Structure 1
Amino acid sequence: MENDSLPIYPKVYPSAQIQKKMDSTTIPLTTQPSFNQVMAPTLLGPENSITVCQFCQASIKTSIKYTVTARTHIAAALCGLICCCCCIPYLSESAKNADHYCPNCHKYLGTYEK
């Protein structure tokens, strides 16, 4: 084994186009999506996003919960040094990450990092 430290994954090839010949004309037919094709990830922004839940398959508008990060603590420290009001970053949503959840099944969908 040449690459013992690297994991081996099966190669995923895009679905091939099937061609059907009818009276000397070629009509391309595409196959239906197979189980090995991956859907494009949903882009989640800082606000509620309209998407399809990957768990319950419902068309939803995501609900958001804001979480405090290291960036929030750094902004609070800088505000404390500049204007002695270190609570501003904790009260505003601009220095927090937005965690998106499905309102139907309440599962976590992703995070928008600021």
Structure 2
Amino acid sequence: MDEKSTTPTRIYPSTPLEQPVLPNEQQQALLPPAPPTYTQATGAAPTTTGQNTSHVVVITPGAPLVYGPAPVDIQCPYCHNYTRTRLRFRPTSRTHLIALLLCLFQLYCFVCLPYCIGSCMNTAHYCGMCDRYLGTYVRE
């Protein structure tokens, strides 16, 4: 007989290909990498002058939103939702003056008319989601 045919052939390796991993190491491998430090991100070495420095953060609001007689699409500063404002009309002294003039001209049927027309009153804007007051459009 041939010598090659008598020696058994190994199909599997003698040592396992996978190496055992501890549970703690496995958990560390699944976590995302830590973010870079400030010096790594900026590429500059930190400067230490030995003085206590304080950081001041200045928050500048965007352009002020001018409310008009119609509803406006905004991001509410209170609930931070994008929504359309709700309108509520408030009578002004001009509204009362028009009603008084209609009364003086004995047009009693039309006295309530200035209180029904939105163009005779100021427009108050409220958030459509949280219903908080946002601003007023004053008629001139």
TM over 0.5: yes
Residue 39 of structure 1 deviates from its aligned partner by 2.1
TM-score w.r.t. structure 2 length? 0.53
Structure 2 gap ranges (5+): 1-56
Instruction: In structure 2, give the amino acid aligned to 1:63.
Output: R
Q: Partners of 1:46 and 1:54 in 2: how far apart? A: 20
Structure 1 gap ranges (5+): 1-33
Q: Percent identity?
A: 35
The aligned counterpart of 1:29 is none
The aligned counterpart of 1:88 is 113
Q: Partners of 1:102 and 1:35 in 2: how far apart? A: 27
The aligned counterpart of 1:77 is 100
More strand by share: 1
Tell me if the contact between 1:101 and 1:109 (Cα under 8 Å) persists in the aligned partners. yes
The aligned counterpart of 1:3 is none
User: Which protein has greater RCO, CA pairs closer than 8 Å, 6+ apart?
Assistant: 1
Q: Deviations over 1:35-54 (max 9, x none)?
A: 43122211111011111111
Residue 83 of structure 1 deviates from its aligned partner by 5.4
The aligned counterpart of 2:66 is 43
Q: Partners of 2:87 and 2:70 in 1: how far apart? A: 8
Bigger Rg, which one? 2
- Does residue 100 (structure 1) correspond to residue 118 (structure 2)? The answer is no
Figure out how many residues of one structure are paired with residues of the other and give that number. 81
Tell me if the contact between 1:63 and 1:100 (Cα under 8 Å) persists in the aligned partners. yes
More helix by share: 2
Q: Deviations over 1:23-80 (max 9, x none)?
A: xxxxxxxxxxx54312221111101111111111111110101111111101111222
TM-score w.r.t. structure 1 length? 0.64
Question: Over aligned residue pairs, what C-alpha RMSD do you find?
Answer: 1.5
